[in-house]
């Protein structure tokens, strides 16, 4: 395959970026998208040019590091797929492919296609944990969890924190990510004691990080590689209203 790549190049978040055009010859359709970028970088290095910086780690669809917008779609044209799971057979010989980083103010560009997603870490630090005694592990059967509850928690825990939901949202909202992380803990018995505090703390951290409001367009769920449903956001909204109401009555009382 012969491909024309338009790749976003930017030295850092203090400089202006631009799309640079590169041509690749004889790209195997069996290559993954990241392997294709490796080939591009090998070509650039051989020509004495600076290689393209892009995030990657597991290359197995687990870590969420491969955060790229491909032809305007976070993670590319295939639903329920990360960039590292996308293969070049999905494209045609002679195609022009535009590759850009996530576009959101809370995700400033570090270099080229690499963005700083530490704002997600701040949300998790605000309440993405449970407070339990340290020491020996609790017996697995000590706290029975009904299967529907366990399944719901596992569905929420599938979120890999890649940020595609933010990149797709016109408001740069992080509601899908935050709702998944809240639901994962709030649905289990171990997370119930801190449920209200967790909801308020994580939503406040999300707002402080500069993420926008959710207007329920659904782009976030459409591009999510783990297909987290919009129901998670609805549940977070209900939990937030309850927690906020309790907080108000507690202060009044």
The predicted-structure confidence for 226-241, as pLDDT tens digits, reads as follows: 999 999 999 999 999 9
C-alpha dihedral, 216 to 113 to 17 to 214, nearest 10°: 10
pLDDT classification of 131: cutoffs 50, 70, 90: confident
Tokens of 39: 């080939």
Task: Calculate the average pLDDT of the chain.
Answer: 94
The residue whose two tokens read 């979120």 is: 159
Q: Domain segments of the chain: what residues?
A: 3-110, 118-252
Measuring CA to CA, how many Å separate 69 from each of 6, 98, 116, 134, 250? 12, 8, 15, 42, 45
pLDDT classification of 137: cutoffs 50, 70, 90: low
pLDDT at residue number 143: 76
H or E element, residue 149:
helix 147-157
The predicted-structure confidence for 33-60, as pLDDT tens digits, reads as follows: 999 999 999 999 999 999 999 999 999 9
- Domain 3-110 and domain 118-252, same fold? Reply is no
**Alpha carbon distance, N-terminus to C-terminus of the chain:** 70
The predicted-structure confidence for 88-130, as pLDDT tens digits, reads as follows: 999 999 999 999 999 999 999 999 999 999 999 999 999 999 8
At the topology level of CATH, where does 118-252 sit?
Fumarate Reductase Iron-sulfur Protein; Chain B, domain 2 (1.10.1060)
| CATH architecture, domain 3-110 | Roll (3.10)
pLDDT at residue number 6: 98
Q: How many CB atoms lie within 10 A of CB 61?
A: 19
Q: Where are the beta strands (DSSP E) in the chain?
A: 3-9, 18-24, 69-70, 73-74, 96-100, 109-111, 114-115
């Amino acid at each position: 395959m012969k491909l024309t790549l338009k790749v976003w190049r930017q030295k850092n978040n203090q400089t202006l970026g631009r799309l640079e055009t590169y041509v690749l010859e004889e790209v195997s359709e069996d290559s993954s998208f990241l392997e294709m970028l490796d080939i591009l970088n090998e070509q650039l290095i051989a020509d004495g040019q600076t290689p393209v910086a892009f995030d990657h780690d597991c290359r197995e669809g687990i870590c969420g590091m491969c955060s790229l917008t491909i032809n305007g779609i976070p993670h590319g044209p295939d639903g329920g797929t990360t960039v590292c799971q996308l293969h070049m057979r999905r494209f045609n010989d002679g195609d022009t492919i535009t590759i850009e980083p996530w576009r959101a103010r809370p995700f400033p560009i570090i270099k080229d296609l690499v963005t700083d997603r530490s704002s997600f870490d701040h949300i998790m630090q605000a309440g993405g944990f449970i407070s339990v005694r340290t020491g020996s592990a609790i017996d697995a059967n000590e706290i029975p969890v009904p299967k529907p509850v366990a399944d719901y928690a596992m569905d929420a825990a599938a979120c890999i924190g890649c940020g595609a939901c933010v990149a797709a949202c016109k408001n740069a909202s992080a509601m899908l990510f935050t709702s998944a992380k809240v639901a994962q803990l709030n649905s289990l018995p171990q997370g119930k004691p801190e449920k209200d505090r967790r909801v308020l703390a994580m939503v406040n951290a999300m707002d402080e990080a500069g993420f926008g409001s959710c207007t329920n367009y659904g782009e976030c769920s459409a591009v999510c590689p783990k297909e987290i449903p919009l129901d998670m956001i609805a549940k977070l909204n209900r939990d937030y209203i309850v927690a906020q109401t309790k907080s108000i009555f507690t202060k009044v009382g």
